[in-house]
Structure 1
Amino acid sequence: MSRKGIKYLLLLGLVALLTILPLIPGALNTKWMTTITFATYFAIFVLGWDILCGYTGQISFGHSFFVGASGYTSALLSLYFKWPIWATIPCGVLASLALGLLLSVPALRLRGPYFSLITLIMPLIAIKLVLIFSSITGGELGKSNIPAIPTPVPPCPSDAGPDVCRALFIQYQQYQYYYALGLMALVAIALLIISTSRIGKILEAIRDNEEAVEAAGINTAKFKILAFGISSFVVGLGGAFYVHYLETVLPQEVLSPTRSTEIIIASVLGGMGTIIGPLFGAYAVRLGQEGLREAANHIPALQFLNDWALFIFLALLIVLIFVARQGVLPALVGAPYLRKLKKFRKLGQQSVASKEVS
């Protein structure tokens, strides 16, 4: 089976599992339903990061900037102008895309640590702006009462019992979860198509040997700007839906450097530059952290895990760099497939170069 077929098969299996999981009686309580919904939005952020950083080799430390830019735009338009969310969400995505393209022109002409430094500064500046304009943004306290993504589930009647309200809340959670899952699946499919297209091959070639690609007459800056635009669009799409799911927007939630760090951990853990690997990595990081906290809450001897969950994943990442540099998913697929993958990439890069020269 080709690598494209394997990726689609893995995506189908993951989406199928995530689809039936909430339908299994007793499989998920309300807390875990919320957690897996968070994880699904987080997976969208990770996918957006991977199409840029995993495929071009330019490492961004500030992708939470695009989550916040889109989220704040959609939230503030909803609150102050009373626009419907189906109008504010596209505005948020366009704001993220515009900022991504604007910043990509100077940023992507830089390489290595200089590019990473620029991206690291972006969310820090955004947080400062949120605090300066606190009369509009709410400052550290953020903004609440943001309109939720509508569902067919009616609000609980005032005269209803707790069992009725609980049943309605569970239905509401399921709708919100399936919205997130559907969005994630569409994003993953779109990025798989892009990554296996001519654009994806050029981006991989830029990552592996940018000088050779430039020597073949390909404008690498143009393709890196394109990747930055796709990345900011995807992350912005997830960010806009995310704040309407939360019904609140907080700088420490959508702009935090910790969020950017978690995105990088998930992508590297799963396998950068594969789309599917970071997708699995996203769920592993978010669900793994929550699992560690659950263990800490139920086992007194493990209470330290409440504060050390992220550190544990960082330590795991360091170990992974030494034992499975390509990430967990490529390591599980096996060395024979990796050899075929390298050969496939080499042939693809040679094909791209020859077409451009001709």
Structure 2
Amino acid sequence: MADEIEIEQKEIEELALKACRGAGADEASAQALVDATLSAARFGPATLGFPHMVDYLNSFREGRINCAPVPTLTRPYPAMLVSDADGGVAQLGFDLAFSDIVDAARSFGIAMFTQTNSYTAGELGYFVRRLAKVGLVGLAATNANAMVVSKPGGPSVFSTNPMAFGFPLGETSLPLIIDQASSATAFVNIVAAAAEGRPIPKGWALDTNGADTEDPEKALGGALLPFGGRKGANVALLVEMLSAGLSGGPWSIDTADFRSGSTRPAVGLTVLAMMPGPPEHGRVARAHAQTRRLAGLDVYIPGISKSEFPPSHTKKLMIPAAIYEAIHAFAAGRSHPK
């Protein structure tokens, strides 16, 4: 079999929905997860699309995700929305609150959505991309189980603690989307390297003895490093406070592993939605002009550079054959080797 499968977007969407149902997820959870997965596959890092979806499918089946959650939403302040995801996928709680988030941002200029008790958030860029689509600037932060040290030789105290930022650039452009971990690399990149049997660069991770390693298998048993040393660790701490601190969710050091066991991670997610000023101020058009100016100076613009516009809904997606087989196995109600 080829290393990758070329597949129609509609076909993989239907297969993924069937796989979620096969893993035990209810319809609302399945649709929320598949929408986010397709968004990641089309616009985000490929590893956070369907390869990461297999983690969700295993977690549905093994009890780390509530398959039929009933998220609740409260509003302690006019522009603050607080969600309890009831152990389900983070995307569902966000979906259910989305119209309220948008209305609050448009009424007050800014709105905050903070959520606890969910599974890990997947591609964080998805949340700010949703906001940018309706003309809002977004900032998002989330955590998961500890896998990153603050310095070599220290214990794992943070997750990869990503932060995402989105800025709408009008109807003639994709939005600016910055989505990056505070670790030297995303955890999924270590997992992908291990699955493919290829080495990782020095400076990404440590083995169990705290030594720098190029072996992804040893890295999986060890820990990741923050990017830029102490500066990356500070960013990880900032994200920890935005996500677990504001939501009241567990700190990374207290969070269950999202890939093993039967305990739900129950982590936090915080998303800020901001108006880019009144339309007559032209902030969006100004930002669009600046991104074009920077691109002309050979600056990479995340979310835009190397992306086609308008995006195609019919262009086929490339999916690793092993991932396709795993999703197909869930859709067929079969178990599969991890």
User: TM tier, shorter chain?
Assistant: under 0.3
Radius of gyration: which is bigger? Answer: 1
Between 1 and 2, higher relative CO (CA 8 Å, sep ≥ 6) is seen in 1
Give the TM-score taking structure 1 as reference length: 0.26
Instruction: Decide which structure has greater strand share.
Output: 2
Instruction: Decide which structure has greater helix share.
Output: 1
Give the TM-score taking structure 2 as reference length: 0.27
